[in-house]
């Protein structure tokens, strides 16, 4: 039976509705992980380090698509909850067209700034060349990358999470297959990895575009529209926390790389890259749940169904608590095998990665609550509170920790910085949930 936004959500129904976006986000996060796996094992350690060094730039540029998707879907779902379907379609169409235009501009911008940014990050010699190669190829795919982010959220608001999952599975499988073909038989090296990811992003962005451009049985369809300045501003405000999270995470990654290069050299960057891959997947689980549940929260907020809003928050917090504990246990268990898969050819690097991952993994006990808390306020169309949680969590707490803790704890201080940041961010999340409860009636 089809699940609708207007339904009452039991635990089973909530998990059924969010499982597709969870898997969707996991496959999205696998893009770089698969690239890294092939590059590390078939191309070399220096290209692998270059990939991890320049990828934050691509994420910063693509984050605007995530902003338009999450912020826009919150606005569109709320508008649907108010019974204004035609207006919701016009808002949806405007945001998709805006993403395409912005993506083209950012593609050109990214192509130009990749060399100076790579040099600024400390790349030189062969590593600099590899950074420029990988970054420029991925810059060309930015319009599709942004559309993929946009449609991940809008397919859920359109009550088509299974279609969204199918698209991302197709894109993920495309990436894996092309990584093998381009890198192993064709021997294209790092350029092959970048081309595989870029083409996979085209699948993820263009297939949903074709779906919404044609008559379909969902709530949403691309149509003629105009620029709604207030609605566009609201969507950007709603999604600013998500773009802040992506940009801040990329900035923090740069700081991690800087500290690791200083303390542990190229091996430190490679170790962090592997830990980051695992964190992408774990964060993707919570982010997928947040994206999947957000349109439901927005719909019932727009419909002023306070009892359902209370139920959704209570159930979500319990689900996240169970996931946090389970994922922490799994991370501790798999730290050594995962390190061996990526860098088993280097015993010193394997030991460094395993030790760092086990310390870093303590953040998994907490980060799900902070990710959901920020997304919860985005769904309530309260962008400033959502942005405050994200801004403090990454750009303030984690930046401060990664700069200060290594002074006292050396390399362990780098691995524990994120744990400190998540603890501080949890306090902020709880503060906002308590102080805003009367305004939104979710307690």
In the prediction, which pLDDT does 40 show? 82
For the chain, the domains span: 11-440
In the prediction, which pLDDT does 128 show? 92
Mean pLDDT of the chain: 89
What confidence category does residue 21 fall into, taking pLDDT thresholds of 50, 70 and 90?
A: confident
In our burial notation (b when 16+ CB lie closer than 10 A, e otherwise), range 230-248 reads ebbebbbbbbbbbbbbbbb
In the prediction, which pLDDT does 341 show? 86
In the prediction, which pLDDT does 208 show? 94
Task: Judge whether residue 211 has pLDDT over 80.
Answer: yes
CB-hemisphere CA count at 13 Å for 305? 20
Residues 436, 64, 295, 425: is their CA dihedral positive or negative? negative
Phi-psi region at 3: left, alpha or beta (left = phi > 0; alpha = psi -120 to 50):
beta
What does residue 304 show for φ and ψ, rounded to 5 degrees?
60, 40
Mean pLDDT of 372-401: 89
**Residue 355 near residue 414, CB atoms below 8 Å:** no
**Residue 76 near residue 151, CB atoms below 8 Å:** no
In whole angstroms, give the CA distance from residue 136 to residue 129. Answer: 11
In the prediction, which pLDDT does 196 show? 93
Task: Judge whether residue 90 has pLDDT over 60.
Answer: yes
**Residue 301 near residue 81, CB atoms below 8 Å:** yes
In the prediction, which pLDDT does 371 show? 92
Query: Which DSSP category does 7 fall into?
Result: S
What does residue 184 show for φ and ψ, rounded to 5 degrees?
-85, -70
Look at residues 18, 79, 58, 76 and name the one whose alpha carbon lies nearest to residue 284.
Answer: 18
Give 313 or 3, the one with higher predicted confidence: 313
In the prediction, which pLDDT does 354 show? 95
pLDDT digits (tens, 9 = 90+) for 264-309: 887 888 888 889 888 888 988 998 899 889 889 988 988 889 999 9
Question: CB atoms < 10 A from the CB of 1, how many?
Answer: 6
In whole angstroms, give the CA distance from residue 96 to residue 61. Answer: 17
pLDDT digits (tens, 9 = 90+) for 324-353: 999 999 999 999 999 998 888 889 999 999
In whole angstroms, give the CA distance from residue 259 to residue 437. Answer: 40
- Percentage above 70 pLDDT, the chain: 98
pTM of the predicted model as reported, rounded to 2 decimal places? 0.76
Task: Judge whether residue 183 has pLDDT over 60.
Answer: yes
In the prediction, which pLDDT does 334 show? 94
What confidence category does residue 242 fall into, taking pLDDT thresholds of 50, 70 and 90?
A: low
pLDDT digits (tens, 9 = 90+) for 53-86: 888 788 888 877 777 887 888 888 888 888 888 9
In the prediction, which pLDDT does 82 show? 85
In the prediction, which pLDDT does 31 show? 66
Mean pLDDT of 390-415: 92
Mean pLDDT of 2-15: 86
In whole angstroms, give the CA distance from residue 130 to residue 190. Answer: 7
Mean pLDDT of 196-222: 91
In whole angstroms, give the CA distance from residue 363 to residue 209. Answer: 37
Look at residues 245, 239, 283 and name the one whose alpha carbon lies nearest to residue 380.
Answer: 239
Give 74 or 94, the one with higher predicted confidence: 94
In the prediction, which pLDDT does 81 show? 83
In the prediction, which pLDDT does 153 show? 81
Mean pLDDT of 398-420: 95
Give 435 or 381, the one with higher predicted confidence: 435
């Amino acid at each position: 039976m089809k699940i609708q936004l207007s339904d009452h959500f039991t635990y089973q129904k909530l998990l059924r509705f969010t499982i597709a976006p969870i898997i969707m986000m996991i496959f999205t996060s696998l893009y770089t992980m698969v690239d890294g796996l092939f590059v590390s094992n078939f191309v070399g350690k220096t290209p692998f380090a270059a990939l991890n060094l320049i990828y934050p730039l691509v994420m910063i540029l693509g984050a605007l698509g995530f902003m338009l998707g999450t912020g826009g879907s919150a606005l569109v779902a709320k508008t649907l909850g108010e019974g204004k379907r035609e207006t919701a379609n016009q808002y949806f169409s405007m945001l998709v067209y805006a993403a395409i235009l912005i993506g083209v501009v950012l593609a050109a911008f990214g192509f130009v700034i990749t060399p100076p940014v790579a040099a600024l990050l400390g790349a030189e010699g062969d590593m600099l060349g590899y950074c420029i190669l990988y970054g420029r190829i991925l810059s060309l795919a930015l319009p599709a990358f942004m559309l993929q982010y946009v449609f991940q959220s809008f397919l859920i608001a359109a009550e088509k999470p299974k279609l969204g999952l199918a698209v991302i599975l197709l894109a993920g499988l495309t990436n894996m297959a092309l990584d093998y073909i381009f890198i192993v038989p064709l021997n294209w090296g790092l350029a092959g990895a970048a081309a595989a990811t870029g083409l996979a992003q085209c699948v993820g962005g263009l297939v949903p575009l074709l779906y919404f451009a044609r008559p379909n049985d969902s709530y949403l369809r691309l149509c003629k529209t105009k620029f709604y300045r207030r609605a566009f501003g609201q969507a950007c405000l709603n999604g600013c926390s998500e773009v802040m999270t992506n940009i801040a995470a990329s900035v923090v990654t740069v700081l991690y790389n800087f500290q690791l290069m200083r303390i542990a050299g190229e091996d430190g960057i490679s170790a962090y890259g592997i830990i980051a891959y695992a964190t992408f997947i774990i964060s993707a689980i919570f982010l997928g749940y947040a994206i999947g549940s957000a349109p439901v929260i927005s719909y019932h907020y727009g419909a002023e169904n306070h009892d359902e809003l209370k139920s959704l928050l209570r159930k979500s917090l319990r689900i996240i608590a169970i996931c946090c504990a389970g994922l922490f246990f799994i991370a501790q268990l798999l730290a050594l095998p995962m390190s061996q898969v990526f860098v088993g050819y280097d015993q010193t690097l394997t030991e460094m990665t395993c030790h760092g991952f086990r310390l870093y993994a303590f953040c998994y006990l907490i980060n799900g609550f902070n990710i959901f808390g920020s997304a919860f306020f985005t769904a309530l169309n309260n962008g400033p509170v959502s942005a405050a949680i994200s801004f403090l969590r990454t750009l303030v707490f984690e930046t401060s920790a990664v700069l200060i803790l290594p002074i006292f704890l050396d390399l362990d201080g780098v691995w524990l910085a994120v744990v400190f940041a998540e603890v501080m961010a949890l306090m902020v999340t709880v503060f906002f949930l308590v102080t805003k409860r009367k305004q939104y009636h979710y307690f």
